Structure formats: C-alpha cells, structure tokens
C-alpha cells in the first residue's frame, strides 16, 4: 500500500485535537478497540531537557489491534537486542579502564547501538514481511521518538516551530476521511503537486 502523509498543526494551547471515525485505521472495518500512540519531542531549556508527550487513541478492529501489538513488539525487541549487543560487544573490545572513559565510551556505544539497532530492525522487517505481510505496514518504533507507532499509522512531531504533527496512514481512504474530520490538515502529497 502507498502511504499517505498529512501535516496537522497544534491548537493555540499547543495541543493536538485529533478526531478519528469509528473505523479501524488499517482496514476500515467497525472499530472494536483503541491502541495508544504517544509521539513526543524534547526541548533544551536553560538547565534541563523538557519532554513534550501526547497520547492519541487510535481506533482498530480486534484483528488488527492484535496484529499491531505483535508486530510492534517484535520490531522493538529486535531493536533492543541490536542496541544491547552493540554496547556489550563494544565495551568488551574497547575495555575502558577509567571512570570518565567508561562514561564516555558508554555514551558513544549507546548512540551507535541505537543506529545499529534501527538498521537491524529495518532488515528484520524486510525479511519478516515475507511471512507476516502486515509487517510492511508497521512503523519501526523508535524509542523516545515514535513510541507506539501502530499498524498502518504513525505520528511524529516536528522539532521546529510550530511543531506540526506528521501523520502517516497506509489506508488512503481512511486518510481522506480523517482529513475531512480534522480542519487544518494538509495533504503533503497534494501540497507537493500544487507547488
Ligand atoms: Zn482492521
């Protein structure tokens, strides 16, 4: 399926008021349950980092809610295995011996582990798609960025002002319906064609 990308601005209070219809966001069948999607972004203030986190209830039919939870868990576990193995392997190889060196090495290894974990999860997703077709429509959950991206849907927040939401739907009909329900939404593909 082709993904549909939509921008959605926050309201004057900095919140996102998303309205969904009573249909599964993936297949369009009647809604039976919800899954949570909690995008977040962090901002550096004078003395600390402030995390802005939002939770959206995304409607699903029972079958796809279950499938989404399974797929996301598999991809997340693979990501963490890649990260942990990189940190352990790198630590054994580098063998830092001073406290400051240990802290610095750990920091770099966690960053590298995050990149390698993502790469492995991406590869695993390609391979697993042969056996579980809906894997192709499952976003890789990036911890701290797209926590809880779900089957056929993802939401992330732009780090620059005005912090628009970037939404992706794999079901084009549901995406169009969503745009009709939510005033202020911009169809990115359409925008590209017009400008
Ligand atoms: Zn469904």
Q: Could you tell me if 148 and 72 are in contact, meaning their C-beta atoms sit under 8 angstroms apart?
A: yes
Burial 2-17 (b: 16+ CB within 10 A, else e): ebbbbebebeeeeebe
Question: Residue 80 and residue 78: Cα distance in Å, rounded?
Answer: 5
Question: Residue 163 and residue 161: Cα distance in Å, rounded?
Answer: 5
Residues in the chain: 195
Cα of 157 to ligand 1 centre, how many Å?
25
Helix (H, G, I), strand (E, B) or coil at 7: strand
Q: Show the domain range for 104.
A: 4-194
- Spatial CA neighbour of 15 closest among 180, 174, 187, 157: 157
Structure token pair of residue 35? 């899954």
Q: Name the pTM for this structure.
A: 0.83
Total number of domains constituting the chain: 1
Cα of 28 to ligand 1 centre, how many Å?
6
Cα of 58 to ligand 1 centre, how many Å?
11
Enclosing H/E stretch for 167: strand 165-169
Cα of 59 to ligand 1 centre, how many Å?
9
Number of H helices, E strands in the chain: 4, 8
Cα of 23 to ligand 1 centre, how many Å?
8
Give pLDDT tens digits along the chain (195 positions). Answer: 568 999 999 998 889 999 999 999 999 999 999 999 988 888 888 888 888 889 999 999 999 999 999 999 999 999 999 999 999 999 888 887 787 788 888 899 999 999 999 999 999 999 999 999 999 999 888 766 555 579 999 998 888 888 899 999 999 999 999 999 999 898 887 655 554
């Amino acid at each position: 399926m082709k993904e549909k990308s939509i921008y959605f601005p926050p309201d004057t209070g900095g919140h996102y008021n998303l309205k969904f219809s009573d249909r599964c966001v993936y297949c369009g069948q009647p809604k039976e349950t919800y899954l949570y999607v909690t995008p977040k972004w962090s901002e550096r203030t004078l003395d600390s980092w402030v995390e802005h986190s939002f939770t959206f209830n995304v409607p699903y039919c029972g079958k796809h809610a279950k499938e989404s939870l399974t797929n996301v868990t598999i991809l997340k576990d693979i990501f963490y295995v890649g990260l942990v193995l990189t940190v352990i392997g790198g630590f054994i190889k580098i063998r830092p011996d001073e406290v400051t060196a240990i802290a610095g090495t750990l920091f770099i290894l966690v960053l590298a582990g995050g990149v390698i974990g993502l790469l492995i999860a991406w590869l695993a997703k390609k391979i697993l798609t042969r056996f579980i077709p809906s894997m192709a429509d499952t976003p890789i959950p990036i911890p701290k960025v797209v926590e809880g991206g779900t089957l056929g849907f993802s939401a992330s927040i732009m780090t620059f002002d005005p912090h628009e939401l970037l939404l992706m739907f794999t079901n084009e009909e549901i995406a169009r319906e969503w745009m009709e329900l939510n005033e202020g939404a911009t169809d990115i593909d359409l925008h590209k064609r017009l400008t």
